[in-house]
Structure 1
């Protein structure tokens, strides 16, 4: 389909898959947008606060166990109140919460307020695939479905590769709009910092500005039925010139695809792993 056509028309579309999870990965993927960079920095800030609190609690417990055990303290104190300690353990947590709240509110405002966008991508969640619309580029629409494991090409990750990836330009402010045609879904692309629920009859918004080219993967993050695990997201970020070329080709290819011929709302048997079919 379009992905294969792009491979012939634009050989340099073979981009580095930077937004792909790795085995034993315990931290975030490398940020590809300013929003994700701020999320990553805020998470690191919280991490060191948690390390400090855990270290303090463990040190206090060790001191108490050593200093006030029955052997070293045969006649325990019967003190029931200590004003200084009670004031400290009330004020210190409040100060910690204030220190967390200030950068948290800044990050929330930065990620929620959509700046002047240069283009819009509308995302529609369906059972069980994603539908994408480009209203600023001819309003063409296409469906993006999971590529069955037996059809994967070398280097394409299992359960993350789609037949028609989203193609977006680099260094461009993109407004994302999310909705659904049936049940609740959630579009999540970790490297971009974008994660939004898609509800039927409601329109959610987010934004991103990718700072480098590459291929980035995500998945539906809201339990939406038996095909929930088989509706991945693949985003190819390319130069503005290549994006313009892709738009021209996509307009021609998808002009007659919607409407009326839309993909079935059910996964075909070839798209569901053998273990899934065996359970049905």
Structure 2
């Protein structure tokens, strides 16, 4: 009984740790963070709920397998069981270890498919945003708000202002209104990229010659950061994504200003700097080897 009590104590500790992991999800992003960002969209909220469900399922399975393994090692050791069993099959046991995993997979699959269909696309979007991945920056188009375009390029370290995160701050942020369904169209002009915004539950491949679609709705004002999540060359690490969510009135003022500011779109000068940085990093790595 003492062994079973110890196993039960270990199981309780693991479940308590799982509950702690769920509680810290509400913490803001920080250096060396090991958990998810605080959700800022309905999609991310559902992703967190699904994550928590999987956490419980895999924790229970791990505890059960560990307890079963320890029990078998203890109960059927050579000392306690000098004559080993010669059982070749057990119909009941075989049915159980077939049906139970199937039931577990169904429990996981149902919310998984619901989440996939929910995050796929939205029928009645309030606005459309198009993101184009390039080596190594992003271009954005607002077809429903004047059809203006601008490039978003990484701000160099020496130009960062106080409070701006390194490698996550572009010169031009995407601006969207809160509580607005945004249809997101993602493509690329050269190689594969990936548009990822963890706090909004968005991660979509940018494929040349193809437009992929998803949607998001920011539920509170703030600035949300992401990066290209597909290795795309020497400047892959220098493709930040920043989305600033503002009130609808402030968004209208920004649109009016952006129409004038981005009336003419030129190739960003910083792209040359990024290419030089990537080439220099590659050369340094080669010389070090």
Question: Is contact 1:147-1:271 (8 Å) kept?
Answer: no
- Runs (4+) of structure 1 exceeding 4 A deviation are 273-277
Report the Cα offset of residue 115 of structure 1: 3.0
Q: Does 1:101 align with 2:105?
A: no
Report the Cα offset of residue 150 of structure 1: 1.1
Question: Is contact 1:137-1:247 (8 Å) kept?
Answer: yes
**Partners of 1:278 and 1:19 in 2: how far apart?**
37
Question: Is contact 2:121-2:213 (8 Å) kept?
Answer: no
Report the Cα offset of residue 170 of structure 1: 0.5
Q: Does 1:47 align with 2:55?
A: yes
Report the Cα offset of residue 137 of structure 1: 1.1
Spell out the pairing of 1:254-273 with structure 2 (5 A cutoff): 254-257=262-265, 261-263=266-268, 266-268=271-273, 272=277
Report the Cα offset of residue 266 of structure 1: 4.6
**Partners of 1:246 and 1:113 in 2: how far apart?**
26
Q: Which TM-score applies when normalising by structure 1?
A: 0.88
Structure number with higher relative contact order (C-alpha < 8 Å, ≥ 6 residues apart): 1
Q: Does 1:61 align with 2:83?
A: no
Report the Cα offset of residue 27 of structure 1: 1.6
**Partners of 1:75 and 1:262 in 2: how far apart?**
79
Aligned mate of 1:148, from 156, 160, 168:
156
Q: Does 1:38 align with 2:46?
A: yes
**Partners of 2:28 and 2:152 in 1: how far apart?**
18
Spell out the pairing of 1:102-251 with structure 2 (5 A cutoff): 102-251=110-259
Question: Is contact 1:145-1:164 (8 Å) kept?
Answer: yes
Report the Cα offset of residue 272 of structure 1: 2.7
1:159-213: per-residue Cα shift (whole Å, max 9, x none)? 1011001011101010000111001110000011111001111111010111100
**Partners of 2:273 and 2:70 in 1: how far apart?**
59
Partner of 1:3: none
**Partners of 1:102 and 1:87 in 2: how far apart?**
23
Say if 1:84 and 1:123 are closer, same or farther in 2 by CA, change over 3 A. Answer: same
Say if 1:168 and 1:19 are closer, same or farther in 2 by CA, change over 3 A. Answer: farther
**Partners of 1:29 and 1:76 in 2: how far apart?**
52
Structure 1 window deviating more from structure 2 (110-119 vs 137-146): it is: 110-119
**Partners of 1:225 and 1:270 in 2: how far apart?**
9
Q: CA RMSD in A?
A: 2.0
Question: Is contact 2:136-2:274 (8 Å) kept?
Answer: no
Q: Does 1:278 align with 2:280?
A: no
- Structure 2 residue ranges without an equivalent (≥5): 1-25
**Partners of 1:75 and 1:267 in 2: how far apart?**
76
Question: Is contact 1:218-1:234 (8 Å) kept?
Answer: yes
Partner of 2:21: none
Q: How many residues align?
A: 260
Question: Is contact 1:115-1:173 (8 Å) kept?
Answer: no
Secondary structure of the residue aligned to 1:268 is helix
Report the Cα offset of residue 270 of structure 1: 8.9
**Partners of 1:198 and 1:275 in 2: how far apart?**
25
Q: Which TM-score applies when normalising by structure 2?
A: 0.85
Secondary structure of the residue aligned to 2:144 is coil
